[in-house]
Chains A and B, each alone.
Chain A
């Protein structure tokens, strides 16, 4: 058994080494966040400044908003940075989070093939556009994953008075995956999709797809940040998590968000309330 044992020893040493390296930056927080903040490159761009200023490393777990909130409810994170206001408020009301703050916003856009078979490209009305898509039974690809984007999309269908569940598997197709994979699917099927603008702008495989509907106030997309409750989950690193939230909402974090651009276009607009107002409110 000498050879396998030798191999095993080598591999174990290598493995432990990797584990040690990961443990080396022992001051860190875990942020449960959404795919849009990671896929768009925002967090990669702004987090190094925070780590440099405070010595706190930020470990980002980027999943859909629904899963991020569930993970945080299990205590598997220190800070929640997502975009589904009702769910965020419920999270705080249930005692899982300390307090919710506005961080930034961008907007959702309807994208589709340039040929635009349902002819939605001429209006700003997102709800009318969905009605046109349904009327033509033109293919539409949905996240179908309880993410913030999926929840927004469901609210829009409801406003349009269309029961997409009945069409699921027909012209309405649920991928059950993240924004990027869903866009890849939409491209493959020449289908319409709802996406946040940040992910769309940073998405490199646009081919002949373009933004068809934008600017409807109902497409507003607000991001919120919440410290996971240390009272509910004793392992939460409250001080370091709060330091991250303070930075994100403060002038440095807000400026970093505003400064993140792709091809000159800003991806997110910071809109945290000034500190004085926050304390008063």
Chain B
């Protein structure tokens, strides 16, 4: 066992050191798909989360419950739903999106949106409770309140986006159904790991897993650096 790990580490290092072109391709595709999905999810989920945090009205509690529960959406179910939507015999079949990176972005966006919205709602709701009187004394409209709170919570929301990214980059169940794991078209890190495991090539699969973890580390590091420089600018 320890031997296998050592071998996987050395294989991972070799792949990285030689800048293996096949590896480069799937790493870039993984990043492109998952970052796009998280960005799209944030565009929808941040305003949604803020709106749920700031507004009062009937059905809001039920909506929040639904949203929180949706954080546990199984990727394979999301993949199946998006497949049925995008299949040639499905309602959106005419778009011809099945087995393309766009289909993978759609599936991951569906998967990540509830996570970002639910966590953002909680953060904004807490902030709102804290500043409610102050905001009201300024006579802000609900929209302006939402904007103010979103801006104020921006550093926490970055962490929320990272949670969404973590979910997207690590999942295989959805993208393997809607993408089809097609070589040079829709093959990403996680589907390659699944394929190499199928081939009994456990060493390579593990090495790719290590590289995926490294990738997540780099993205998180980059965001942390951004956050640090942002904080410095904000309080300088």
By DSSP majority rule, is chain B's interface helix, strand, loop, or mixed? helix
Q: In this complex, which of B99, B186, B202 has the most chain A Cβ atoms within 10 angstroms of its Cβ? A: B99
Proximity bits, B193-236, A CB within 8 Å = 1, else 0: 00101111110000000000000000000000010001000000
Report the stretch among A56-64, A140-148, A164-172 that lies at the interface.
A56-64
A204 engages B161 (CB within 8 Å): no
Given contacts A15-B101, A39-B195, A61-B180, 15 further A-B contacts (CB under 8 A): A4-B46, A7-B161, A8-B43, A11-B39, A14-B36, A18-B33, A18-B101, A19-B105, A22-B100, A38-B195, A76-B87, A76-B98, A178-B198, A202-B199, A203-B199
Complexed CA–CA distance, A59 and B96 (Å): 14
Q: Is A123 an interface residue (CB 8 A)?
A: no
Cross-chain pair count, CB within 8 angstroms = 120
Complexed CA–CA distance, A4 and B42 (Å): 9
Q: How far is the CB of B187 from chain A (nearest CB, A)?
A: 10
For B198, what are the chain A residues with a Cβ–Cβ distance below 8 Å?
Answer: 35, 39, 178-181
The chain A residue sitting closest to B176, CB to CB, is: A63
The chain B residue sitting closest to A63, CB to CB, is: B180
Q: How far is the CB of B113 from chain A (nearest CB, A)?
A: 14
Q: How far is the CB of B199 from chain A (nearest CB, A)?
A: 5
Question: 29 A-B Cβ contacts within 8 A?
Answer: A1-B151, A3-B226, A3-B230, A10-B35, A14-B28, A15-B101, A18-B28, A18-B33, A19-B105, A22-B185, A22-B186, A30-B180, A35-B198, A38-B195, A44-B183, A59-B185, A60-B182, A61-B180, A61-B182, A62-B181, A75-B89, A75-B93, A76-B87, A76-B89, A179-B198, A204-B200, A205-B200, A206-B200, A235-B96
Q: Is A272 an interface residue (CB 8 A)?
A: no
Q: Is B143 an interface residue (CB 8 A)?
A: no
Q: How far is the CB of B96 from chain A (nearest CB, A)?
A: 7
Q: How far is the CB of B230 from chain A (nearest CB, A)?
A: 6
Out of A19, A59, A233, name the residue touching B99 (CB < 8 Å): A59
Q: Is B154 an interface residue (CB 8 A)?
A: yes
How many A residues have CB within 8 A of the partner chain?
43
For A8, what are the chain B residues with a Cβ–Cβ distance below 8 Å?
Answer: 39, 42-43
Complexed CA–CA distance, A182 and B209 (Å): 21
A76 engages B99 (CB within 8 Å): yes
Minimum-distance CB pairs A-B, first 9: A15-B36, A180-B198, A205-B200, A75-B88, A11-B35, A18-B32, A61-B180, A8-B39, A203-B200
Q: How far is the CB of B48 from chain A (nearest CB, A)?
A: 15
Q: Is B157 an interface residue (CB 8 A)?
A: yes
Q: In this complex, which of A8, A16, A184, A233 has the most chain B Cβ atoms within 10 angstroms of its Cβ? A: A8
B35 engages A30 (CB within 8 Å): no
Interface size class of B (residues with CB under 8 A): 35 or more
- In chain B, positions 99-139 with a C-beta closer than 8 Å to chain A are 99-102, 105
For A184, what are the chain B residues with a Cβ–Cβ distance below 8 Å?
Answer: 197, 200
The chain B residue sitting closest to A61, CB to CB, is: B180
Out of B39, B46, B89, B99, name the residue touching A30 (CB < 8 Å): B99
A14 engages B87 (CB within 8 Å): no
For B197, what are the chain A residues with a Cβ–Cβ distance below 8 Å?
Answer: 180-181, 184
Q: How far is the CB of A25 from chain B (nearest CB, A)?
A: 8
Complexed CA–CA distance, A71 and B40 (Å): 28
Complexed CA–CA distance, A39 and B197 (Å): 10
Q: Is B172 an interface residue (CB 8 A)?
A: no
A7 engages B99 (CB within 8 Å): no
For B102, what are the chain A residues with a Cβ–Cβ distance below 8 Å?
Answer: 19
The chain B residue sitting closest to A202, CB to CB, is: B199
For A203, what are the chain B residues with a Cβ–Cβ distance below 8 Å?
Answer: 199-200
For B32, what are the chain A residues with a Cβ–Cβ distance below 8 Å?
Answer: 11, 14-15, 17-18
